[in-house]
Each structure stands twice: as C-alpha cells, then as structure tokens.
C-alpha cells in the first residue's frame, strides 16, 4: 500500500480520498463483472486508499440487498496487503422490499437495528467502523433515528455515527443529540455541478469538527463525471496545463476546501480509481484554486 495524505474520520485516520463502491453494483454505467469489481477495490487499496464506502441497498436489484457489502468484504479478504488500517463505512435506512416498493425509507429504531446487524454479518466484522443513516424518513421524528444510531454505538454494533443527505438544521439537531464528538461524518452530494446547498453543509462541518464526505464528487455516474472538464472549462484548462485528467483536478480542488473534506469518487474500473487517487499528491496553485472556486461554487 502506498503512503498517502491522511485525514481524521471520527476515531479513525484515513486516506484523504476514499472509494465509493456503489458503481460496482448499480448506477448509470454498466455493472462490472465480479472479477473486475474485486480488481477495482484492490486497485484502490494498492493506491493507498484506506476508506471504502458501501451501503446495504447498493445492489443490482431489490432482492439482492447487501450485494455491494459482500463485494467489499470479499475484496478485503482476498487482498494481498495488510487490511488492518482500512476503514469500511456502510449505510442503512433505505428499503428495497419489492420491485414495486423499491427505495423506500425506514428510520425506525427496529429497522435501523436490523439493518445494521445484517450489514455487520455481510461485512464479517464484530463492529462496523462507520455507519450512516442513509436518508431521512420524513414520516418519523428526525431525533428518533439519530437516537437509534446512538444506541447502536453504545451497544458496540457500530463504532462511529454518520449522517447522509442532511441539511444544516438536521445536522445541528443530530449534533445536539449526540454531543460533541458524537457525529463523525456527514456524507452529502457535492461537486462542481451540485453545491448550491451542500457548500453550506461543508462549512458547517468545518465549524463543528465533523468530516464532510462528498458523494458524486465528480458529478455523477451518468455522464457528469466524464464531462466535468467540458462543463467547467476552467477545470479542463487547469488539467491540460498540468497534464492530468479533469477528474483529478476536481478532486484536488475539493481537497483544498478544508482538511475535513474526504471525497469518495465512485469507480467500476481499476484505472478510474487509480487516477482519482492521483489527486492525493496533485498540488494546484493558489491561482488555480481561486479560479475554480470562482467558476463553480454557489455562495
């Protein structure tokens, strides 16, 4: 494993870029073969990535819940390196109970507990490193679900608590319930294409000592990531001047937004995550960073 810059994630220290494993099981691109999926995780680990992000619902169909978690677990078990420093994050709270009711929400105490226990078994661990409440359940009190996560942590089922797809008001409530240091991470959509609300959430996390993990940091798997240099010419210009990909420039810019920012680009090919990991050592000039921020940030 290559030594790479590290950032704090609750009690853990991880690489400043993680692997978003969702495209190995679902998404806008064609699902890779099983062997390619395993090879992609191995490529991330070989490049020094020590954070793997998965979720119970990442699966090719409603009746294959846990597909992605099983891939991550198998890849870790079969990797030739030392996996003791690798942190695995997963999520619960979105349901896939039938084709007709795909992607529902359940933030109940009972469901989150059952989901966490199932994820723990699929990952083959005693304690899940980081567990996110995936999306709010608008039919329940927000506090109820946050309190459920606190109970899971107290019981040793999860080590750290994360919240995903939450606004500043919801994050403030979660922190009030969990107390200082109780909320390890926030995972929200953030990219040059999408930051009109999440830039506020990124800054909230900086003020409260919480890691901020952008999902779809390049703009998504349905063409947004591949076209980031065309959609935002300044990113393309900087990439050409540096002789690197626009995707690598984008991730390096996001890393510059704060030491608490840990992008998790998705990948379904080994070459993609290897290129993304190159952002860990890419140094952009102050002028480059200012130009990109001026062009893409919604302030």
pLDDT digit string (tens) for 63-78? 999 999 999 999 999 9
pLDDT-derived band of residue 272, with 50, 70 and 90 as boundaries?
Answer: very high
pLDDT for position 220: 75
> Which of the residue ranges 19-23, 26-30, 228-232 would you say has the lowest mean pLDDT?
26-30
CA distance 280 to 159: 26
> Which of the residue ranges 100-109, 190-199, 268-277 would you say has the lowest mean pLDDT?
100-109
Q: SS3 string of 173-185?
A: HHHHHHCCCCCCE
pLDDT for position 6: 93
Supply the DSSP symbol for 104. E
Q: What is the mean pLDDT of the chain?
A: 93
Which one, of 280, 264, 252, lies nearest residue 21 by Cα?
264
Residue 162 bridge partners (DSSP):
132, 185
pLDDT-derived band of residue 221, with 50, 70 and 90 as boundaries?
Answer: low
pLDDT for position 157: 98
Q: Tell me the HSE value of 186 on the side-chain side, using a 13 A CA sphere.
A: 31
pLDDT-derived band of residue 29, with 50, 70 and 90 as boundaries?
Answer: confident
Residue 90 to residues 152, 191, 265, Cα–Cα distance (Å): 14, 21, 15
pLDDT-derived band of residue 153, with 50, 70 and 90 as boundaries?
Answer: very high
- What are the backbone dihedrals phi and psi of residue 92, each rounded to the nearest 5 degrees, phi first? -150, 165
User: Is the pLDDT reported for residue 3 higher than 80?
Assistant: no
Q: Tell me the HSE value of 75 on the side-chain side, using a 13 A CA sphere.
A: 29
CA distance 200 to 183: 17
Fold of 6-216+259-267: TIM Barrel (3.20.20)
Query: CA 200, 205, 211 angle in degrees (round to 5)?
Result: 130
Helix (H, G, I), strand (E, B) or coil at 252: helix
Q: What share of the chain is helix, strand, coil (3-state, %, to 5)?
A: 45, 15, 40
pLDDT for position 296: 92
pLDDT digit string (tens) for 238-248? 999 999 999 99
pLDDT for position 17: 98
231 burial via Cβ count (<10 Å: 0-12, 13-18, 19+):
middle
Query: What's the token pair of residue 47?
Result: 């490049």
Which one, of 18, 4, 1, 2, lies nearest residue 211 by Cα?
18
The radius of gyration computed from the CA coordinates of the chain, to the nearest angstrom, equals 18
pLDDT digit string (tens) for 176-220? 999 999 999 999 999 999 898 899 999 999 999 999 999 999 987
Cα four-point dihedral sign 17, 23, 26, 29: positive
Residue with tokens 């899971």: 152
User: Is the pLDDT reported for residue 110 higher than 90?
Assistant: yes
132-138: average pLDDT: 89
H or E stretch at 101: none
pLDDT for position 98: 83
User: Is the pLDDT reported for residue 222 higher than 80?
Assistant: no
36-64: average pLDDT: 96
Task: Please give the share of the chain, as a percent, with pLDDT higher than 90.
Answer: 82
């Amino acid at each position: 494993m290559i030594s790479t810059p590290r950032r704090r994630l609750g009690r853990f220290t991880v690489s400043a870029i993680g692997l978003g494993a969702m495209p190995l099981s679902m998404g806008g691109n064609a699902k890779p073969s099983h062997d390619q999926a395993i090879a992609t995780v191995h490529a991330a680990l070989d490049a020094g990535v020590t954070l793997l992000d998965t979720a119970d619902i990442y699966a090719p169909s409603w009746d294959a819940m846990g597909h992605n978690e099983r891939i991550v677990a198998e890849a870790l078990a079969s990797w030739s390196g030392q996996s003791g420093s690798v942190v695995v994050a997963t999520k619960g709270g979105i349901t896939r109970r039938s084709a007709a009711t795909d992607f529902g929400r359940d933030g109940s105490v009972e469901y989150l507990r059952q989901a966490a226990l199932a994820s723990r078994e699929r990952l083959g661990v005693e304690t899940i490193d980081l567990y996110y409440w995936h999306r709010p359940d608008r039919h329940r009190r927000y506090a109820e679900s946050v309190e459920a996560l606190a109970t899971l942590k107290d019981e040793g089922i999860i080590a750290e608590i994360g919240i995903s797809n939450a606004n500043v008001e919801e994050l403030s409530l979660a922190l009030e319930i969990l107390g200082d240091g109780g909320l390890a991470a926030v995972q929200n959509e953030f990219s040059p294409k999408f930051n009109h609300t999440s830039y506020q959430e990124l800054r909230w996390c900086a003020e409260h000592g919480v890691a901020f993990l952008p999902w779809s940091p390049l703009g998504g798997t349905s063409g947004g990531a591949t076209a980031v240099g065309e959609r935002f010419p300044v990113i393309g210009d900087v990439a050409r001047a540096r002789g690197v990909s626009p995707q690598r420039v984008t991730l390096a810019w996001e890393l510059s937004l704060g030491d608490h920012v840990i992008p998790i680009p998705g990948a379904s090919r080994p070459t993609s995550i290897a290129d993304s990991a190159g952002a860990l050592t890419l140094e952009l000039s102050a002028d480059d960073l200012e130009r990109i921020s001026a062009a893409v940030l919604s302030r």
